[in-house]
Amino acid sequence: GDWGCPEQGCPVDVLRTKRLITAIKTPYLTSGKVDLYAYDALVEAQIEGGVEGLIVGGTTGEGQLMSWDEHVMLIAHTAQKYGDRVLVIGNTGSNSTREAVHATSQGFAVGMDASLQINPYYGKTSRRGLIEHFGAVMDLGPAIVYNVPARTSQDIAPEVMFELAKHKNFAGVKECEGNVRIKGYTDKGVTCWTGNDDEVHEARYEAGAVGVISVTSNLVPELMRELLFDGPNPELRDRLLPLMGWLFREPNPIGVNTATAMLGVAKPVFRLPYVPYAADLRAEGAALLRDVGVANAQPLADDDFTLLREW
C-alpha cells in the first residue's frame, strides 16, 4: 500500500526469544500529564532487573486514557532513549482499524520494535472482519496479537489465530485464555506469552509459552526474571502468588497504580475512571510487598491521592 516507512521494527525471530516483557505503568504528574522523570526511573529499574521488553501504553499503562499523540510520544521517547537496551513494543491497536493503522504506522516511524494488536473490543466484528483488521495492521510491521476476552468480550478463536499466524509479521500471541489454549498453540509452533501473571509458571514450564507479558514485573522485575529464566521453582511461584492475587482484586491497573503510588515510584495521581484501592486493601498490599522483599511501601491516606477528570 501507500505507506512509505522504511522502519518496520525488529525481526519476529528476535521478538520470539523474549521471556520477560513488562506492561509498563505510566506515571503521572499532578496535572495528569505523563511524568517522564518517574517513567525513566521505572524503565531503568526494569532494565536493571532483567526485563527484556516493554509494552508501552498497554492496558496497564493506560493507553485507553491517552490521546494518540501522547501515546506515540511515549513510544518515541522510549525507543529513542532505551531502544538499544530493551525491546519497545507499542500497544498501537484499537477497535477502529483507522486508528490502529495510524498509530501503528507512527509507532514504527518513531522506532518501536513491534506492536501489540488487540481485536476490536466493544464494537466487535465478524470473523472476516477480524482477518481484515489484523491484516491491515500486520502489513505495517511485526505484531503480537493480544487475546483477552475478559476485556474485549470477543474471543479470538484458534481457527482465526492460525489464520493470522500465516502473516510474515505475526510474531506470536499474548494469550489470557489459559494454559490449555496456550499449549494448543505452542504444540503447533505458535509463540505464546501468557497475559496472566498467576499462570506464568505453568505456562512457561508446562504449556510451552516463551514467557509472559507481566504486570507484576513492574514491582519485582528480578523475581519475575528468576521465575522465568532459572527453571521450575514452585516455591518462588507460591511466594509471589499472594501479591499477584492482590494486584487483580479490582480491574488492572488499579492494583499496580496503587502499589506504585505506595512505593513512591509514581505520584499518587489517578486518571479517572481509575481510583485507588481502599485503605484496608492498601495496608494488605504493603504487607504483601514486604513479604516478597519490597520493604518501603507506605499505605498512604485517602487524601494523598489526586483523582482527575481532565488532564
Which residues form the catalytic set? 146, 174
**Beta strand pairing call for 20-23 and 192-194:** unpaired
Angle between helix 36-48 and helix 68-82 axes, rounded to 10 deg: 50
In the complex, what is the shortest distance from the CB of residue 69 to its own copies, in angstroms, rounded to a whole number?
Answer: 4
Q: How far is CA 201 from CA 104, 207, 251, in A?
A: 31, 9, 22
CB 255 within 8 A of CB 246: yes
Closer to its own copies by Cβ: residue 76 or 86: 76
Closer residue to its own copies in complex, CB, 33/188: 33
Nearer CB in complex with its own copies: 19/270: 270
Cβ of residue 280: shortest distance to its own copies, in angstroms?
13
First to last CA, the chain: 36
Beta bridge partners of 213: 21
Smallest distance from the beta carbon of 134 to its own copies, in angstroms?
Answer: 9
Whichever of 186 and 196 has its CB closer to its own copies, that residue is 196
Q: Alpha helices, DSSP H only, in the chain?
A: 12-15, 36-48, 68-82, 97-109, 127-138, 149-152, 158-164, 179-186, 200-205, 221-229, 234-247, 254-262, 279-291
Q: Which of 95, 108, 189, 188 is nearest to 143 (CA)?
A: 108
Write down the least CB distance from residue 268 to its own copies, Å.
Answer: 15
d(CA 138, CA 131): 10
Smaller CB separation from its own copies, 13 or 132: 132
Least separation in angstroms between CB 139 and its own copies: 9
Tell me which residue of 217, 191, 216 sits closest to 204, measured CA to CA: 191
136, 101 contact by CB (below 8 A): yes
As a whole number of angstroms, the distance between CA 85 and CA 217 comes to 17
Nearest CB to its own copies, comparing residues 129 and 242: 129
**CB of 9 vs its own copies, minimal distance in Å:** 12
Read off φ and ψ for residue 214, nearest 5 degrees: -110, 145
Place of cell 498512604: 300
